[in-house]
Amino acid sequence: MRVRLPGLNTVRNRKTGQAYYYFGKGGPRIHGEPGTPEFLENYRKAEVAAGKTTAGTVQHILNEWQRTPRFQALAPSTRRQYIESVIVIERTFGTMPIAALADKRARGVFLAWRDSMSATPRTADIRLRTLSVALNHAVDRGWLDRNPVAKPGRLHNVTRADKTWTDADLAAFHASAPDHLRLALTLALHTGQRQGDLLRLTWAQYDGRYIRLTQQKTGARVVIPATAELRAILDERRGPANDTILTTQRGQRAWTSDGFRASWNQAMKDAGVTGVTFHDLRGTAVTRLSVAGCTPQEIGTITGHSLSHVNAIIDSHYLKRDTALADSAIRKLEESQTLPKSGLGGNIKSDGKR
């Protein structure tokens, strides 16, 4: 969802037609291609640098929060999502005095604003969550005594409890998808990593036995032993150290996140695979590791989840409806021979007597 950027001024070179972008007339230039994360972040920096702020307002809180080292250390995709929300928030609440946030009615005003976007509940929740994080910063700095939108609840409540790729889904995708996207699926299924981390993965991070990476979202460092199948595939395809393992079909270029998403969605459509996403391959990997008898500690070492998160996934999100776990449990029970013999069997009459 692209948001309108207030104050964006476009100037075109009359001879070449080249477009140049500025914040306001005579304001700082904004570099990058419109619609990209780089452009959005440069726009926001230009907006802040132009002095669009008033002390003692919500706008001031939003700007100061974005200047913090903690905000700047966030993953680019996370910053982009926050900035998109900030642009929307400041249109409605930018001039609101900080003093007004102490009014007990402020929470109701913000919740009503969130509810007005209920047609897109996930986006509505993201907008309010962004405001809440910014206001937490104001509390930390002593500008507010409390956050009026702390723990607001959510409009968007979607569980992916039963969203794992079936063998039929995997077979259908492999049967119709192009080779470079089948490699993406195999990497995700054999490593349990997020899309963004896999798209950035270079050949230098694979030494013929292990894949080493630092997850961008959490900062977790993981060392993943490659399965025999994955090793055979990667060893056959190995490229220059600085090249990404996953590349576009044309030109062997690294993927952009938007480009990969578009190609992946088309491949899913062509394969007739519905109801699951690329991210669900992460949960599918957890499921398969658990079915194979791996402990939560072993799973977390591979996927980068915390132990508590692995247990939560196994308990709530992916495995409750997976019959393979139930089959595995009964098989282990039968093999253990710990159940006493019932003495039943043979021909039993309807009254329960032989």
d(CA 239, CA 244): 8
Same domain, residue pair 45 and 63: no
Query: What pLDDT, on a 0 to 100 scale, did the predictor assign at position 63?
Result: 87
Question: With a threshold of 0.85, does the pTM exceed it?
Answer: no
Same domain, residue pair 217 and 196: yes
Mean pLDDT over all residues of the chain? 83
Mark 278-292 as b/e (b = at least 16 C-beta within 10 Å): bebbbbbbbbbbbee
Question: Would you say 125 and 155 are in contact if contact means Cβ atoms under 8 Å apart?
Answer: yes
Structural domain boundaries enclosing 14? 1-50
Residue 347 pLDDT exceeds 60? no
Residue 79 pLDDT exceeds 90? no
Q: Please tell me which residue, 177 or 56, carries the higher pLDDT value.
A: 177
Residue 342 belongs to some domain of the structure:
no
Same domain, residue pair 25 and 83: no
Same domain, residue pair 82 and 5: no
Same domain, residue pair 292 and 200: yes
pLDDT tens for each residue of 305-316: 777 776 766 665
Same domain, residue pair 197 and 324: yes
Question: pLDDT-based confidence at 1, cuts 50/70/90?
Answer: very low
Q: For residue 19, which phi and psi values (nearest 5 degrees)?
A: -95, 135
Residue 209 pLDDT exceeds 60? yes
Same domain, residue pair 33 and 179: no
Q: In 3D, which of 88, 87, 128 has the Cα closest to residue 106?
A: 128
- The CATH number given to whatever domain includes residue 206 is 1.10.443.10
Instruction: Say which DSSP state 224 is in.
Output: E
Instruction: Say which DSSP state 94 is in.
Output: T
Q: Please tell me which residue, 283 or 198, carries the higher pLDDT value.
A: 198
Same domain, residue pair 178 and 261: yes
Least confident piece of the model among 18-32, 180-194, 308-322? 308-322
How many structural domains are present in the chain?
Answer: 3
Q: Please tell me which residue, 80 or 50, carries the higher pLDDT value.
A: 80
Q: Is residue 165 left, alpha or beta, with left meaning phi > 0 and alpha meaning psi from -120 to 50?
A: beta
Structure token digits, residue 254: 């690294």
d(CA 263, CA 269): 10
Same domain, residue pair 314 and 172: yes
Q: Which domain-ending residue is among 129, 158, 187?
A: 158
